């Protein structure tokens, strides 16, 4: 069955649109509670990022869940991976995060985790959708759920993050710049890295409800690059608004994406990681490096849930998206920006090397990704014109390049990606495909 409300990462929309309205979120909370009760479950944690609408939706979810007989534990501002971890440590039946991840403040969304800290499977999401489409009915007063706040959630998660750092030497002597995207890591990440011994300079740690992901964080590294160079720091680390993604820069301000961080970890622990999962967006440069090291590599569809599915299918532990969603399943059940960064730093400390050495060694193919806003609902596969243009472009690229055209699962855009050895040819191919997409959709 096709899901009506859930996308690739929960439910997301502009605030006040679709499900992401206070009345509809209240009903979503009730629908989720109804499904949980049917499965004999009764305890849910709720966390949120720092966007202003989070207060409104936290109250709505809380009321909806309580009306279905679910006990609610409120965590306040908390990274998405922290909710996944705390759901397990509190032996809750589910965890809910109010966040639109790397999107601007005017968007918001709802993400769900099961009792084991992994995202809900498709069948449960379909059950919630079916309940949402039914008439809302409040349980009897004596069966209503209760709510309370968890005061020590941040401290618990900070200690967990520190426990995943495996190098024998701490971060003493290392100067790190952190960009917290004015998001959910603002009161978590600085403590983690400082308590491990690093000298820390922090930016993007003054959330006001509106500045989340605004000119900062994992989706805009310009401020991080400038601050690293200005302070002569060893490297910089940027998280997105809800802390499940991470990007880095070396001392010269050169970007280190999920592909390269994946290689740093895989290169040092090749024997431990019997295979690596990337996505269809992963650069051919990464695939070539892993091949040279004799490390098996497979591609999943875009979305960390698809990376997780393929990792579980293969019995592997490490996978990532270029955007910085990194899954270290020997450490965490979901993408965790802080934990992933700590694994990279652990390798640097253990080997005595520096991040720029890996940047120098990495030779990614030129890759251009362009997002095209669309208004129609015509499927990509249904366009014969686009199909013919893709075939023409792939003929030009030959075996030295590839294309990927896909619709976003969370926004009304079509993503056009072309990769190849010749940067000029890649740009020409992108321009051709974008023109067709704009005409067709």
Catalytic residues: 101
**In terms of DSSP H, where are the helices of 39-170?**
54-67, 80-89, 122-132, 153-163
Q: Which two tokens stand for residue 246?
A: 């991470």
Instruction: Quickly count: other Cβ atoms within 10 Å of residue 143's Cβ.
Output: 11
Give strand ranges (E) for 229-317.
235-239, 246-250, 255-256, 276-279, 297-300
Q: How many CB atoms lie within 10 A of CB 391?
A: 10
E strands of 280-366, at which residues?
A: 297-300, 318-320, 326-328
Report helix angle 54-67 to 22-38, nearest 10. 40
End-to-end CA distance of the chain: 25
Distance CA 94, CA 118 (A): 9
Q: Can you tell me the distance from the alpha carbon of 66 to that of 30, in angstroms, rounded to the nearest whole number?
A: 8
| Residue 232 to residue 93: CA distance in whole angstroms | 46
Euclidean distance between CA atoms 341 and 339, whole angstroms: 5
Task: Supply the DSSP string of 150-170, one letter for each residue.
Answer: -TTHHHHHHHHHHHT---SS-
Q: Which residues pair with 147 in a beta bridge?
A: 72
Q: How far is CA 186 from the centre of its chain?
A: 16
């Amino acid at each position: 069955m096709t899901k009506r409300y859930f996308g690739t990462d929960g439910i997301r929309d502009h605030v006040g649109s679709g499900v992401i309205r206070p009345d509809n979120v209240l009903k979503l909370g009730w629908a989720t509670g109804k499904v949980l009760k049917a499965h004999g479950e009764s305890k849910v944690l709720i966390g949120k990022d720092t966007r202003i609408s989070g207060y409104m939706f936290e109250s709505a979810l809380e009321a909806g869940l309580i009306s279905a007989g679910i006990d609610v534990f409120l965590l306040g501002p908390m990274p998405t991976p922290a909710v996944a971890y705390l759901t397990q440590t509190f032996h809750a039946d589910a965890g809910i995060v109010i966040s639109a991840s790397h999107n601007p403040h005017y968007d918001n969304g709802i993400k769900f985790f099961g009792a084991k800290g992994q995202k809900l499977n498709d069948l449960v999401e379909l059950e919630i959708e079916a309940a949402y489409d039914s008439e809302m009915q409040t349980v009897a007063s004596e069966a209503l759920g209760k709510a309370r706040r968890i005061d020590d959630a941040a401290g618990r998660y900070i200690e967990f993050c520190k426990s995943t750092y495996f190098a024998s030497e701490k971060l003493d002597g290392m100067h790190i710049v952190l960009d917290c995207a004015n998001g959910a890591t603002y009161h978590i990440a600085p403590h983690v890295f400082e308590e491990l011994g690093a000298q820390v300079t922090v930016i993007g740690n003054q959330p006001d409800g509106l500045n989340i992901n605004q000119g900062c964080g994992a989706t805009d590294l310009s401020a991080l690059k400038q601050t690293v160079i200005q302070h002569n720091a060893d490297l910089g680390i940027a998280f997105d608004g809800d802390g499940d993604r991470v990007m880095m820069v070396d001392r010269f301000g050169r970007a280190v994406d999920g592909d390269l961080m994946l290689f740093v970890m895989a290169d040092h622990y090749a024997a431990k990681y019997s295979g690596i999962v990337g996505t269809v967006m992963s650069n051919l440069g990464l695939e070539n490096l892993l091949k040279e090291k004799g490390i098996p590599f497979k591609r999943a569809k875009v979305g960390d849930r698809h990376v997780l599915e393929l990792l579980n299918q293969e019995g592997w532990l490490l996978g990532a998206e270029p955007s910085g969603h990194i899954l270290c399943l020997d450490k965490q059940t979901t993408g965790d920006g802080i934990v992933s960064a700590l694994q990279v730093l652990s390798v640097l400390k253990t080997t005595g090397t520096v991040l720029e050495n890996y940047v120098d060694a990495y030779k990614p193919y030129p890759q251009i990704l362009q997002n095209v806003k669309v208004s129609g609902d015509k499927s990509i596969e249904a366009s014969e014109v686009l199909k013919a243009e893709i075939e023409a472009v792939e003929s030009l690229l030959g075996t030295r390049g590839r294309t990927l055209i896909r619709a976003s699962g969370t926004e009304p855009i079509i993503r056009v990606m072309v990769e190849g050895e010749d940067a000029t040819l890649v740009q020409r191919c992108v321009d051709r495909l974008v023109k067709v997409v704009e005409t067709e959709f």
